[in-house]
Amino acid sequence: MVDVLLPGIAASRVETARAVQSVLHPAGQTPTGAGEAVLFVHGNVSSSVFWQQQLLALAAAGRHRALAVDLRGYGDAEPLPVEATRGVRDWSDDLAALVDALGLDRVHLVGWSMGGGVVLQYLLDHPDTVASVALVAPVSPYGFGGTVGADGVRVHPDGTGSGGGAANPGFVAAIAAGDTTDSSPLSPRSVLRAYYVAPGSLPLDPDLEDAFVASMNSTRTGLDNYPGDSVPVTAWPGVAPGPRGVLNTMAPTVFDVSGIVDLPRKPRILWIRGDADQIVSDTSVFDLAFLGSVGAVPGWPGADAFAPQPMVTQTRTVLDRYAAAGGAYREVVFPDVGHSPHVERPQEFTVALLEHLDVPAEAPANLT
């Protein structure tokens, strides 16, 4: 079995009112206690293991207490189903229960990809406990798939083109089988190298890559977890979201965190992304509409009927509105970096994050 923990990292089991949760933290530091903490939230098909370099970097800096949690259905979290009719609230409610169980007063939230959506939902539900937010290649505020335009308008009321039916069955099967090879383009290792990062930018440490692959394979598969169920429909591409499992939590029928614009108290936001991201992009190769536009999914009805989802544009539009309504955000774009800036450029990522965390609570961030 791969040892997924780096030297200097420890794991703790924390019993909360909702579940038994797993938390990574620097060795020698307890995750419990009053005060503030930086809480890292991973994305889909991953776990807290992807945040270890940042936990060590923040511990070395000595200015912030750092924790990373496994979401239900991932890593060493208690194996529980995901109720998709609530959007991502199963996870945001789990975070709230964890914050309470640890005795924390406030948290700086750092969310990657799907985790970005989770932390924004938490911000909506518990704004007074949030010191700041960092979004790392976040899912659009309007979810993943099934919307068009900067304002996230649904193509179909039922969210056709999003949800569990959008997953590649071969990738799901490879995860379920625990495939650690690179013999198939759909194996977790191959997907990690080709899409989680910009090609060629993965760290050269083979042990770290093995830990990332093990983390991906910790994803629980099935109708109640990843990817979830789907509903057949007559409209292209033939699938609509169902009520169960991971991908359905981000369907536009149940997920919309653009309401952060209306919060009376607006913590500062850092948005970090790579300009070579193929997953969260205005031309995402995981968006069925974009795949249809390039002929990879047959029968695409054309841009007038079903344009690709402009994910980055949607995020920027909401954050611009957030700033116009009294909040503040900073956008940091890493050149030649894919979907995982914290993995591909860990030192630069840490510098940007520490700059964000060290801004006094009463001071606004610069809009860039």
Domain ranges of the chain: 9-357
Whole-number Å distance between alpha carbons of 235 and 363? 49
pLDDT tens for residues 20-56? 999 999 999 999 998 999 999 999 999 999 999 999 9
The pLDDT, as a whole number, for residue 202 is 75
Q: What is the DSSP string of 284-305?
A: -TT-HHHHHHTTSSTT---HHH
> What CATH topology corresponds to 9-357?
Rossmann fold (3.40.50)
- Quick one: DSSP state of residue 42? -
pLDDT band at 205 (very low <50, low <70, confident <90, very high): confident
Question: Does pLDDT of 368 surpass 60?
Answer: no
Report the DSSP pairing between strands 221-222 and 226-227. parallel
> How many other C-beta atoms lie within 10 A of the C-beta of residue 34?
10
Token pair in block for residue 363: 């001071």
Give 280's contacts (C-beta < 8 A, 6+ positions apart).
113, 137, 138, 139, 140, 273, 311, 312, 339
What one-character DSSP code corresponds to residue 192? I
Q: How far apart are CA 210 and CA 150, in angstroms?
A: 38
The number of angstroms, rounded, from the C-alpha of 101 to the middle of its chain's C-alpha atoms is: 23
Share of the chain above pLDDT 70, in %: 97
Confidence check: pLDDT of 204 > 80: no
- For the segment 325-337, what is each residue's pLDDT rounded down to a tens digit? 999 999 999 999 9
Q: Is omega for the bond preceding 127 within 30 degrees of 0, making it cis? A: no
User: Exposed, middle or buried, 5 (CB in 10 Å: 0-12/13-18/19+)?
Assistant: middle
Whole-prediction pTM value?
A: 0.96
